[in-house]
Structure formats: C-alpha cells, structure tokens
C-alpha cells in the first residue's frame, strides 16, 4: 500500500471526521425541559370497522388517558375536542403522552370544562423515511381513523366537524398527504401542526415510492393552493440539534401570499427559544406548552370545539409561535382610544422625562407610576423610541397620549401590541414617523402587586446605531477576522453581516462586553435575525462576559433581500467587541448537512471505478491489482466531475441541447434539495443551485474516503471471518473453492427468484450476497494455506501464471509440485472478488430498509408489497451467482473485456448526474456495469 495514498486518505478522513463531529455534536446542550406524567398513562384501543381492521392489521388507533380521566373515558363517551397525534419514522404511538398529559393538567385549571381528547395512531413503528411503500397505506388508515374518531361524538348536540392533527417527522408529511386522497373531505381537517417534518424533500430517497409520494403531495398543495387556503398548517423545525431532518426541509412549499402556511424553527418560538433534536421535539416542555396554549385559545367557548375561523386560527398561531406581545390573546380594545387607569389629579404618579434615557427600578412598596416622553422636541433628531422591561405581566405598558390635562394624560392609544417577548424582558420599538397623532409617549411603571422590576427606555437614531461588517471569506479557514467595536451609548445596536446569505457559510461570532458589573443591570440579549425565514436564534448573557454565537443558516437567501443582522440588546455605558471568524469544522459540518446524500453516490463511483481499474489491470497484465491500490485510484474528479459540469452548463445555456434532451425523454439532472424556503411552489419545478456543484470535488474526496477505508475494513472483516471458518473446512489449495456447478447455479437462480417474488426481493439479494461472501472467504482460506506451504516450486516462466501450460513444471515422483503461480492466482482472484464484494455491499445496504420492513411485518404478511427491489433483483441475483465462478483467467481470455473495462467511467458520470436525489438509481448503474462483466465470465 502506497504510503502517500494512505497519508492522503488519512488526512481526508480527518476532515470528514471533523465535519461529522460538528454535524452530530457541535451544537448547544439540550436545554429542553422534560415533560412528566403525574399519573400512569393508559392507551385505550379504539375499535375500528372490521373492513378497516382486516385491511390494516398492523395499525391501530388509541385514546390517551391517565388517572381519573382514563376511567371516565373507558366507555369512549367523549365530550372534548379531538386531537390526533401521528408518529413519524420508527415512531411509537406512545409518544403522544407528552402532549396528552400536559393538555390534561392544563384542562384541570380551565373554566367551563374545556378539554381535549388526545388520540394517537400506531403505525407499527415502520421505517417510512427509508421505505416509502407504506406511506400511502398509512394515509388511507389515517383517513379511516379520522372518520372513526368523529363517530365517537355523534351523541353530542354540537359534535366536532374536524380533527386537529399533530404530526411528528414523516407523520406530518402523511397528514398533508390526506388531501391527495380522491374521497377525502377537506372539511375533516382544518389545522395541522407538524414537528420536524421534511416537507420539501425526503432526507434519503432509497426507493421510487418515496419520491412518488412526495411528488403527489407537492403537486396537490401547489396546484390547488387556492382551494386549500383555509387549511392552516404550522411547520416547526428542530434547529441544529436535529441532524436527521435539517430545518430547511421543514419549510412548507406555498405561494408567497398564503398567510395560513407558517414555517419556523423552534429557536424562534417565543417562550421556547431552544433547539431540539429529532425526538425531543415531541417531549420538549417549552414547545409542548406553546402547542397546548394555542389549542386552548383555539377553542370556541360555546361549542367547546376548535374554531373554524381561519383568521382566528392565524391570530392564535402568530401569538404563540411567532411574535408574543406579552398580552392575553384578544385583549386588544375594540376602539383605538383607551382611558388610563390612574387618576390624573395625583401629581406624584406622573413624571415627565427630559433626558435621552430612562432607567427606573420600582420600589418594594406598591405604587402607581407613569413616565411621559414629549415627542415634539424629538421627532427631527431621532427616528425610534426603544423601551424594555422585565415586568412580564400580561398587561399594557406603553401608550400614546392624545389628550393631556396638565401634567397627566387623560386619553391615550395603547401601543403595547407591538411588544416582543425576549427571554429576560419584553421589548418595544416604536417608529416616530408612525406616531403623528400622538403628542407624548407614556410608559407605565406601576407595581401594584409589590413586584420589583426595571424599566429602561431611550430615544434612538437608527443610522448611528447600525453598523456593517463584511464577513470573512469561507476559504479563509479562520485565518482572517472581521471585527467591530461598539461603544454602547444606547440599549440596542444592529450589526449588518454583509455577504452572509449562503448555508455553506459558518462563522464563530464572539461578543465581548467590557464594563463594570452592576447588580441592577438587565441581562444582554444577542439575537441573530434572518429576514427571509423564521430561524432566529438568540442567547442571554450577563455583563461583563464573553459569548460565542454560531453563525450558521438553515436556509439560503432566495432573492436580493436584506442580509443577516445581529441585534445586540446591550447595557449602557459599555464597550462591545464583535469578531467574526470562519470556522472550518462548521463549514464542513454545513456541507455534510446539506450535501450529505451525495457522499454515498461518490462512494459508489469510487468503487465502480476501482472495479474498472481491476478489469484494466487484468486486460493489460493479466493480473488483478491490489484492492487498496485500485480503490485509491478511484478518485478521479477530473474525469467524472468535469463532464458532469459541462453537461450541466450545456443544459443551462444551449436551448437546442435542452430541446434535444427533452425530446429524447431524458430525466432532469439531479442535485441536492434546494436550500432556500418555499422554492418548489413556482411552476412546481425544483431549481438547482450552483454552489453544490462547485463543492463536488470535496464531496468526491469524502466519498472516496468512505470507499477506501470501508474496503480496508471489509478486507479485515473477511480475514477475521476466514479464521473463524477455517476449522470447519479442510485446507484447500484450489482456486475453485466456493464455486458453483452450472446446475446448482440454475437451481439457485430459480429458487431465489421464487423466494424474492413471493416474499421480499431484498431477501434474495441478501442470500446471493452471502453465497458470494462464502466464495471470498474460501479464497481467503486458500490464499492463507498456499502462503504457509514450504514446498512451492519457483516460477520459471511468467506465462505459467497467465494460464499457459508450463512444459518444464517441476515434478516429484511423477506428481507436479504446486508453484508460486498457484498462490499468485489465488491472490488475484481474491483481490478481484473483494472488489466485487464491496459493490455487492452497496446493493445490500440500499435494499436493507425494505428487508427490515418485511421482517418486522412478517407476522401480518409474508409478501412485501410494494417491493422496491422488483423486478431488478432478478438480474441482480443472476449476476451475483454467475460472478461467483468468475476468476482472473476467465476474464483475461474474454473478447468482451476491452469493452467491459471502458464502461465504468461513463456509468460513473451518469451516476453523478442522475443519482443524488434518487439514491436507488445507484443499484441500476452498478447493475449495468456488472452485467457485461458476468457475460465476460461466460464468453
């Protein structure tokens, strides 16, 4: 093994490991609070019609309950509002316990008997993210479950007409797929909340059924967007802790003017502000509380059911998930004019502020206090008024005075609805140009409940408190730093991060506050605000401190809108130093997060070119090369990526070439899923981005690293397995160990075809793989036996190792001695079959999800339907069994070998062009390369 090759692949493996470490562990600690059950949870199975139970024996519908409520609902006489939870990929129906338990506890404190009935669906924990054959079946069962739930309420005077769906992961995709069913009544579902659901595209497309399902759902919601506008959908992504489903995929494809489709990340949800992993998003207390609060606000007190008013649903979801004004929902007065509570004849209750800033802490004793800020003298010099308070009571606190009586205000306009909630305090920013009818601003600092809090307000000039800093280039790898110093004379500063709008950019943003500690200072809040998607993230720090912010994006900027800004809610009279530095590990992590599905494609390309290298070596020298050598030479970006890039540019720039392409019925070139939100709505076509193609050489290196070290691991495993099996076999010196007779081959082909057709095609592929693995192990044992023999005759002629007869072979008592050629032939065959075994391993891994699904559902059905391996598993097992008898001698004598050795390169180019979004196509291209090779063994 070449030392330089090992060093290169070792360095590349280090880069890949750094990216994987950042992807899997390079995020904040889990700050979610756990939800707990106060009583033992019970899941009562809901009886379904016999027809439904017969069609879907593996599925079930349950009602969640605990304690007294579980006993009261034992007869399924329900009076609450129905909520149905849908688990995701390999998810359990028992995951509904967090939502159900919190809803039960909150219902105990509600007046009027308002409560929910939380149902949950058992999808048998199917791997629907990897095997798409069950998605349509789950959708039909969901439809039947909704009809069965609504029948339970027929005894009520005002029974519910719809069910609210909460879908986790792929459960959210199934919820939206309901509307693709031809007989589905769209009035049965008017609100869907999805958690970490990949709506834009599947994470991995390992079979065509998954992509067909996504295509049908996307086409329905895009083509009938106007008809489905009354269906409110809220999609919540988990943030960077969720490395299974990146938050950009949770964006809902919808028209820009549809307000009823909301997409956001959990870090931007008020009173949540945490990132969740793929499982904790179900039980994260902060997010569950936001969901339950929204549900109770959506209930109609008269009917005790969910409201059907789209405006009411949108207002509630905006209140709890987008912008919380620190007010009770519906507190806004009917008229814009309100009369202030304190009597105007109490002079000590009113204070006019003539300074530029107010900092006031309430005393321990309760009092009435209002501050007046005159607008007349500030309109020209200042553009905004900023105020914050850590009094988080749900009440009005900032007003615009329209009528004064002496030093007090009599009539005022409530301006508090623009308040925004941050973790330590509430903030209100008013634009002075919008307050032409107001003479003074009034800030309430009353603490009638004897609670102490702090109020800080100031006049601001936006231009002087906004700075710009260009971010370092992504290739600077941390060697250059962009920094800026903020001499804080105000409470809010905005730093525009120029040229920061792509997902592959990743920075370490450090903010150091330099000032004296003060016990009455409010905490600082640093917020990274993304204008084009609700993926804001923020941290709260004390003063003085040094804080680090992860400068990464979930989505790219779709147009030339404003860029990312860093908002600093600062302390006065402090100095802040902000530095921005590119982080190489985070850049690699972002590349793997968004382009990870291309790595297995390049792994297959490397192994395919390695197999082609073996064929070329046999053609030239009649010997197979060492596996590590040919795999190491499988990294050929100049021969693979360059033709792909030229083909991509021809399709973009040459109209005639594109017309010919479409005329031939060729598919569109693949790429990674789009990284900007709402991208699939326009004309229903997913556009391709340029930057992933520029990163293809790096992704090729990562794929080659997996192939190189994976093949090394495969050699080690086969060597260890041969040592284990050696005591079970007699020592052999024949290169034909593990081969099959023609009659046995035919019998196995027929048997495996029958087994695959009547049960699972992946099972036949697995059996054929084991037969070939046995052939590799026998060759390994033969090579070890020959290498330990002491009576091997030396080679006299080079031709003796290439298949010709050596007339002068050594003899002992008339018996020919084994020569070194026998050892060399066994080694050549071993290297050839190790290369084939690596390709076969790819086939096995791609078909593994359907095999696992079949095994887990074996008690319900012995046949997998639909089977993604049908019908291509038939030629695949034929090729497997024919190649078992393949050896170096047969290939070197074949007249088709020159042509067969030329096929891997064009197939590799085609694989890179058409497989990143359709990973199952890898099997087809590998099969196209193996079929001629199997023919070479026969002819």
- Cβ burial of 294 (10 Å; 0-12, 13-18, 19+) is buried
| Tokens (6 digits) for 800 | 């003796």
Per the CB < 8 A criterion, the answer to whether 420 and 458 are in contact is: no
| End-to-end Cα separation, the chain, in angstroms | 33
Residue 678 CB contacts under 8 Å (≥ 6 apart), including other chains? 251, 252, 253, 254, 256, 263, 558
Residue 239 CB contacts under 8 Å (≥ 6 apart), including other chains? 27, 247, 265, 266, 267, 274, 275, 276, 535, 537, 554
Per the CB < 8 A criterion, the answer to whether 488 and 576 are in contact is: yes
Residue 86's φ and ψ, nearest 5 degrees, are -120, 115
CA atoms of 463 and 767, how far apart (whole Å): 71
Residue 54 CB contacts under 8 Å (≥ 6 apart), including other chains? none
A 10 A CB-CB count for 357 gives 15
- Cα distances from 539 to residues 487, 511, 547, in angstroms, run 20, 11, 8
Per the CB < 8 A criterion, the answer to whether 457 and 391 are in contact is: no
Is 361 part of the annotated catalytic residue set?
Answer: no
Residue 561 CB contacts under 8 Å (≥ 6 apart), including other chains? 531, 532
CA atoms of 887 and 598, how far apart (whole Å): 33
Q: How are the residues of the chain apportioned to helix, strand and coil, as percentages rounded to the nearest 5? A: 40, 20, 40
- Tokens 């090779």 sit at which residue? 933
Helices (H), 576-695: 584-595, 598-621, 627-632, 637-653, 655-663, 691-694
Per the CB < 8 A criterion, the answer to whether 264 and 321 are in contact is: yes
| Tokens (6 digits) for 438 | 């107001």
Per the CB < 8 A criterion, the answer to whether 598 and 916 are in contact is: yes
The candidate with the shortest Cα–Cα distance to 764, out of 856, 850, 842, is: 850
| Tokens (6 digits) for 763 | 């099972």
CA atoms of 907 and 608, how far apart (whole Å): 9
| Tokens (6 digits) for 318 | 């905006």
The candidate with the shortest Cα–Cα distance to 164, out of 175, 153, 174, is: 175
Active-site option among 98, 134, 162, 169 = 169
The candidate with the shortest Cα–Cα distance to 351, out of 440, 425, 289, 470, is: 440
Q: Residue 23 is inside which H or E element, if any?
A: helix 3-25
A 10 A CB-CB count for 306 gives 23
The candidate with the shortest Cα–Cα distance to 307, out of 317, 320, 297, is: 297
SS3 612: helix
Per the CB < 8 A criterion, the answer to whether 454 and 520 are in contact is: yes
Q: How many residues does the chain have?
A: 939
- Cβ burial of 3 (10 Å; 0-12, 13-18, 19+) is exposed
The candidate with the shortest Cα–Cα distance to 195, out of 235, 145, 243, is: 235
A 10 A CB-CB count for 658 gives 13
Q: Which residues are catalytic?
A: 169
């Amino acid at each position: 093994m070449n030392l330089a090759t090992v060093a290169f692949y070792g360095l590349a493996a280090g880069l890949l490991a750094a990216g994987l470490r950042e992807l899997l562990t390079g995020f904040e600690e889990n700050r979610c609070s756990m939800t707990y059950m106060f009583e033992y949870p019970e899941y009562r199975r809901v009886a379904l019609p016999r027809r439904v139970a017969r069609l879907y024996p593996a599925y079930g519908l349950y009602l969640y309950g605990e304690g007294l409520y579980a006993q009261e609902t034992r007869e399924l006489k329900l009076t609450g509002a129905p909520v149905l939870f849908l688990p995701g990929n390999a998810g359990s129906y028992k995951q509904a316990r967090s939502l159900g338990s919190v809803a039960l506890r909150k219902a105990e404190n509600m007046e009027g008997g308002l409560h929910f009935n939380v149902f949950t669906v058992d999808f048998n924990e199917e791997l629907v993210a990897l095997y798409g054959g069950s998605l349509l079946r789950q959708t039909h069962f969901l439809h039947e479950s909704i009809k069965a739930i609504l029948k339970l309420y027929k005894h009520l005077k005002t029974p519910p007409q719809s069910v609210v769906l909460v879908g986790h992961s792929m459960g959210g995709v199934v919820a939206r797929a309901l509307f693709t069913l031809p007989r589905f009544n769209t009035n049965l579902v008017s609100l869907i909340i999805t958690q970490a659901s990949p709506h834009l595209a599947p994470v991995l497309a390992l079979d065509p059924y998954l992509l067909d399902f996504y295509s049908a759902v996307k086409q329905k919601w895009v083509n009938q967007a106007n008809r489905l506008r009354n269906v409110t959908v809220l999609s919540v992504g988990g943030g960077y802790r969720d490395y299974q489903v990146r938050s950009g995929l949770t964006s809902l494809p919808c028209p820009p003017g549809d307000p009823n489709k909301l997409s956001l990340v959990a870090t931007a949800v008020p009173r949540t502000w945490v990132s969740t992993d793929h499982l904790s998003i179900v039980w994260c207390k902060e997010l569950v509380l936001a969901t339950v609060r929204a549900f109770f606000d959506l209930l109609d007190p008269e009917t005790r059911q969910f409201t059907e008013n789209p405006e009411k649903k949108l207002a509630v979801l905006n209140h709890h998930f987008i912008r919380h004004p620190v007010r009770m929902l519906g507190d806004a007065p009917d008229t814009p004019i309100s009369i202030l509570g304190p009597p105007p004849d109490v002079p000590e209750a009113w204070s006019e502020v003539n300074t530029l800033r107010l900092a006031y802490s309430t005393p321990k004793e309760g009092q009435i206090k209002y501050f007046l800020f005159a607008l007349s003298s500030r309109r020209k010099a200042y553009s905004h008024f900023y105020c914050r308070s850590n009094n988080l009571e749900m009440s009005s606190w900032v007003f615009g005075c329209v009528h004064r009586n002496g030093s007090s205000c009599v009539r005022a306009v409530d301006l508090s609805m623009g308040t925004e909630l941050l973790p330590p305090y509430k903030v209100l920013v008013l634009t002075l140009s919008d307050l032409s009818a107001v003479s003074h601003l009034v800030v309430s600092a009353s603490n009638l409940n004897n609670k102490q809090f702090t109020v800080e307000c100031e006049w601001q000039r936006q231009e002087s408190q906004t700075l710009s800093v260009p971010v370092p280039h992504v290739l600077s790898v941390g060697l250059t730093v962009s920094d800026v110093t903020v001499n804080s004379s105000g409470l809010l500063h905005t730093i525009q991060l120029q040229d920061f709008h792509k997902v592959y950019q990743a920075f370490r943003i450090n903010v150091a506050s330099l000032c004296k500690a003060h016990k009455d200072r409010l905490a600082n809040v640093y917020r990274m605000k993304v204008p084009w998607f609700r993926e804001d993230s923020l941290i709260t720090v004390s003063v003085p401190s040094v804080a680090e912010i992860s400068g990464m994006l979930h989505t790219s900027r779709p147009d030339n809108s404003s860029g990312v800004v860093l908002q600093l809610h600062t302390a006065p009279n402090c100095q802040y130093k902000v530095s921005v530095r590119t982080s190489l590990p985070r850049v690699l992590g972002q590349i793997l997060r968004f382009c990870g599905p291309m790595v297995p494609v390049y792994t297959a390309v490397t192994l395919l070119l390695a197999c082609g290298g073996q064929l070329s070596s046999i053609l030239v020298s009649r010997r197979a090369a060492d596996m590590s050598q040919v795999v190491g030479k499988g990294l050929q970006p100049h021969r693979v990526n360059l033709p792909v890039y030229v083909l991509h540019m021809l399709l973009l720039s040459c109209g005639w070439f594109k017309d010919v392409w479409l005329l031939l019925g060729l598919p569109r070139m693949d790429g990674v899923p789009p990284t900007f939100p709402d991208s699939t709505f326009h004309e229903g076509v997913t556009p391709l981005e340029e930057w992933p193609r520029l990163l293809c050489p790096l992704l090729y290196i990562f794929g080659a690293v997996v192939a190189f070290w994976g093949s090394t691991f495969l050699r080690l495993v086969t060597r260890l397995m041969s040592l284990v099996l050696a005591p079970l076999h007699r020592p052999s010196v024949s290169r034909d160990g593990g081969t099959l007779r023609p009659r046995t081959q035919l019998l196995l082909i027929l048997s495996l075809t029958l087994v695959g057709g009547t049960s699972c095609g992946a099972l036949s592929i697995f059996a054929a793989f084991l037969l070939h693995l046995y052939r590799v192990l026998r060759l390994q044992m033969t090579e070890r036996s020959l290498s330990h023999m002491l009576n091997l005759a030396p080679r006299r002629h080079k031709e003796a190792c290439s298949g010709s007869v050596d007339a002068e072979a050594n003899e002992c008592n008339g018996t020919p001695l084994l020569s070194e050629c026998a050892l060399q032939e066994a080694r050549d065959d071993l290297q050839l079959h190790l290369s084939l075994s690596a390709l076969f391993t790819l086939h096995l891994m791609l078909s593994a999800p359907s095999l696992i699904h079949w095994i887990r559902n074996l008690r319900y059905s012995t046949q997998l339907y639909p089977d993604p391996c049908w019908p291509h598993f038939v030629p695949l097992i034929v090729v497997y069994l024919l190649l078992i008898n393949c050896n170096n001698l047969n290939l070197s004598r074949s007249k088709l070998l020159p042509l067969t050795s030329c096929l891997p390169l064009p197939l590799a180019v085609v694989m890179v062009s058409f497989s990143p979004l359709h990973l199952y196509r890898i099997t087809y291209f590998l099969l196209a390369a193996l079929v001629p090779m199997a023919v070479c063994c026969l002819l």
